[in-house]
Chains A and B, each alone.
Chain A
Amino acid sequence: MKETLSRRYVLILVGLALLILIVGGLLRPKKPVAQPPSPSDTASLDRLVQREDLRRMADFLARSAASVADKVVYVRDRRASGVIWERQGQAITTMTSAGEPRAPLLLASTNSTQAPVALAAAAPVDGRWIVIVGRSPDGKLQWTAGLGGGTRPAVCDGLNYSEILINSPLPNPLAGAGAFDLDGSLAGIVVNCSGSLHVAAAAGISSLLAAASTPGRQLMSRFGLRVSPLPDGLRPILKTPAGLLVAELWYGTLADDAGLAAGDVIVAAANQPVSTAGELWKRLASEDAAPVPLEVVRNGRKTQIVLNAPPPTGASPSLGVRLEPPPRTLASVSILPNTPAYAAGLRSGDRILQLGALRNPTAAALRRRLSAHADAPLFLVYRRGPVERAVTVTP
């Protein structure tokens, strides 16, 4: 210590300094303590956070949808979305219109040059996100997203397939859209089954396509025609020993345009006798886009009908305007459930076009015939909406 400062002086100053620090520290103005947020503040904060989370999720899903956009096209002549499939220039899509013979899946050509989409390794299980991406007619991307709920076996127009359950509704414009997982792989395709949309698992699409390409299915989707072998019981009624019965026919299709009707019997195609759908399909398909002459028995009389070949897929789109057939009869029926007629496919409101060999029966003739043939099989041709069908009602 220097002599200029006595020890006492130093100690007094130490005491003073301590006093300043202690008193000063105690007198310091209290800093405003942060109030804990009120419950309503917390709730509104929570809401904000959740809203932000949702916005982020929507952004993420939109990005996922955009990332697969180049795999999805609008198939103009099918009026549905489609997904680039297996080969370049080929898209898989579904039938959309109720006025058409149904086919859950079909291939269409597209002018897209994109590489085909990769298939997902496995169908999505519970709780995995699926983004369903399609396109509108103006080419704009349309998408929705939902949580996958596993798969279940289902039937669409007589074809077995594996359906992916999804917790989000599928609006009609998404027919033919692709269902993608978040990695951008194709998990399934939206198919139209009797007017409602379902997601068919991608893994089963090839077998579904194969099943849809049997001769019978091809005849239906290309020509709007279903044929069945002529049952023995009908030979005397339809007055022909052999041939193929036109069991179902859709208005506005090539078969309808050619003048075929349900209840007709196709005896030969391209001058070759036909007795199975496979034979008929072979004749029709082998003639490269050329009209095929058919020999048809109607009311016991043979006539020639020329069936035009379908235009190649991807041809100019149809306008969707169709001439309704003239009302050939007014006789409509009322069908009770759990009766032979119901089992044969008849429904209330169907219009009867033919009863046995009698074409265009009047209501009185219909009533007489029905009471007279109460215990014998009955051949009927009826019309429901855009389709004609030929059935045999067995008591």
Chain B
Amino acid sequence: MIRLLIADDHPVVRAGLRALFATEPDLDVVAEAATGEHAVQQSREGVDIVLMDLQFGGGMQGAEATRRIRQADGAPHVLVLTNYDTDADILGAVEAGAAGYLLKDAPPAELIAAVRAAARGESALAPTVAGRLEARQNSSGEALTTREAEVLGLVADGCSNRDIAKALFLSEATVKSHLVHIFTKLQVSSRTAAVASARDRGYIRPA
């Protein structure tokens, strides 16, 4: 029997997942959490797999909750479930110790297979995500760094260089330098084009 904890701030999502897993005799949802903090707490109580939302309405977010859960001895495996498949999210979750990453619109059979794989200690990446990670590794010369993606994300939010410098505690000179490198890597010549290109490639969140 695989014991599951579902951590998501939306009751409908939790209910949907519970109903889905109820059809599988070897899967048992033993706990639910609506916040990251609660998920960390619940994960200590006899759980094999945590299904973790990345974005909570407030408080601790999914990547941080994942990191804390994975710190414990004999910690459960964490499968991240999210709406977004941007590389920044994937990297954050994987770095935090998640065994896998699945999109909420994945077919139910894929979700169930991923839970069983994670319980066996295997990693599970949605095919679209796995493909994109691979594509990114193949074109590593052009990949944005985490910091560059962070800068461009703020551009997408409408921030000026000055706003970005303040937000990141950097000089405007260095912000500009990041933008020059971003433009070169993405082969664009404007902020708007950089944002559009980075969204296409999954470096920053869709609008």
A and B: bona fide binding partners: no
